A = this chain, B = another copy of it.
Amino acid sequence: MTAILETFSAWRAERGAQIRSRVTLGFIPTMGSLHEGHVSLVRRSREENDRTLVSIFINPTQFDDPADLMQYPRTLENDLSRLRTEGVDFVFVPREADLYPDEYQYRVRENVLSTRLEGAHRPGHFDGVLTVVLKLLNIASADRAYFGEKDWQQLKLVEGMARAFFLPTAIVACPTVREADGLALSSRNSRLPPTDRKRASQLYRTLSAAPTSEVVSRELHASGFDVDYVEDWEGRRLAAVRLGSVRLIDNVPIEGRR
């Protein structure tokens, strides 16, 4: 039975009782529009914990572009039925006023990594991500929280925040799930027209094959991608590109490849 949490205080009581009887909880924060990538996090959580909680919340403070927020896919009924099928125990679908009683007056700010790469192209994005993740982790009180490696920079920032703020929840990184042609699963893929969808697989192929980030950038540009960045950072090659109005990000390990 999948229960939808009604109020935060009811959940706090429930989770308090779980903790006292040593019931472990895994938590997966999402923005909905769930795909196999999210499902892989849910399955990992169910393997490693007694109970699993998923949140669905399209967090406005992490969108630097209002058009992107408006166009972000919303598929709540599908999402809930998928979570039921996967045997998720609890789902939390907060409204904005539930999570931002302070109207975003209190924020988390990271001042080194968050201004680079994605942060340089999306001002304020990571303040919004870290702030909402902190709120959700505090509400969930989980033993473990699951994040995909596709959003590599986000993953590193969340891990850093958890260490810096002594959060009691372990952050668990999970491998990127890909389509057969290599395209990393993303809710935004659904917005790609068929011809762009076909070309999109080139992002991963080029990232994996080209010898340097400069070559990746040149090849993608030559193939008609708008390249926001391709950059090597701490053993990882990260890229962000645009095809029409759809922005795609991906990353691959570079250690042992040189």
One of B12, B100, B165 near A138 (C-beta < 8 A):
B165
- Whether the pair A105, B112 counts as a contact (CB closer than 8 A) is yes
Q: Is A233 an interface residue (CB 8 A)?
A: no
Across the interface, name the chain B residue whose C-beta is closest to A139. Answer: B166
Shortest A88–chain B CB gap in Å is 21
CA distance A137 to B14 in the complex (A): 22
- Whether the pair A107, B109 counts as a contact (CB closer than 8 A) is yes
Q: Is A258 an interface residue (CB 8 A)?
A: no
User: How many chain copies?
Assistant: 2
**A: which residues have CB within 8 A of B?**
8, 12, 19-20, 22, 100-102, 105-113, 130, 134-135, 138-139, 141, 160-161, 163-168
- Whether the pair B107, A8 counts as a contact (CB closer than 8 A) is no
CA distance A110 to B108 in the complex (A): 9
CA distance A163 to B100 in the complex (A): 10
One of B20, B102, B109, B110 near A22 (C-beta < 8 A):
B20
CA distance A112 to B106 in the complex (A): 9
- Whether the pair A168, B138 counts as a contact (CB closer than 8 A) is yes
Contacts of A165 in B (CB 8 A): 106, 134-135, 138
CA distance A184 to B112 in the complex (A): 40
Shortest A5–chain B CB gap in Å is 13
- Whether the pair B110, A106 counts as a contact (CB closer than 8 A) is yes
